[in-house]
Amino acid sequence: MIMDNQNIQQPKFSPPASSPLLTIEYAGFLQRFLAEIIDELAAIGVLILLGLSLRMLMKVVPAPTEYANIFQGLIISMKGIFELIIFLILLCFQIWNKVYLLGRTGGTIGKNALGVKVVKVENMKVIGMGTALLRETIGKSLSAVILNIGYLMILWDKRKQALHDKVANTIVIKKD
């Protein structure tokens, strides 16, 4: 069976449509620093609310009876337990903001307020909670070890990465 090459239909080839190049605008030092301040102010706000509630609880004194001193003594003796509860609530808030929220959405309260997000270098997607935990604990500890040089690396790095970004293989970009 001999085939005639002239009768075979060749598929038509069309070059891919020109697509605009993906431009990445990295978040700078000041924007990242301000986002961190907003995050810490949010944590301080939570701490103040919890502290005020503890203070109000400490001032609760029942009507003068023989049980008033017992009740007040119980509240005062439980102050350490209340302080531990406040610490645990604050810790949960920080984990929610800096691990859960950052890992799932790419931003903390402060980063979202300033329009920046943390993404993976290799695919520009959100980093996940494991990478967020690595970045926020080990990475930021290393960034702070020697006179905060790890944070200052943002100023001269071409992708504006701090040491904790390099450890976690992340970049901080401006949202569209």
Q: How far apart are CA 68 and CA 75, in angstroms?
A: 11
Structurally, the chain folds into a number of domains equal to 1
Q: What backbone torsions phi and psi does residue 147 show, to the nearest 5 degrees? A: 50, 30
39 inside domain: yes
Determine, yes or no, domain membership for 132: yes
Say yes or no to pLDDT of 110 above 70.
Answer: yes
Domain assignment of residue 71, yes or no: yes
| Structural domain for 73, as ranges | 29-174
> Any residues with CB less than 8 A from the CB of 82 and at least 6 apart, and which?
54, 57
- Amino acid letter at 82? F
Q: Is the pTM of this model over 0.85?
A: no
pLDDT of residue 15: 39
Per-residue pLDDT for 128 more than 80?
yes
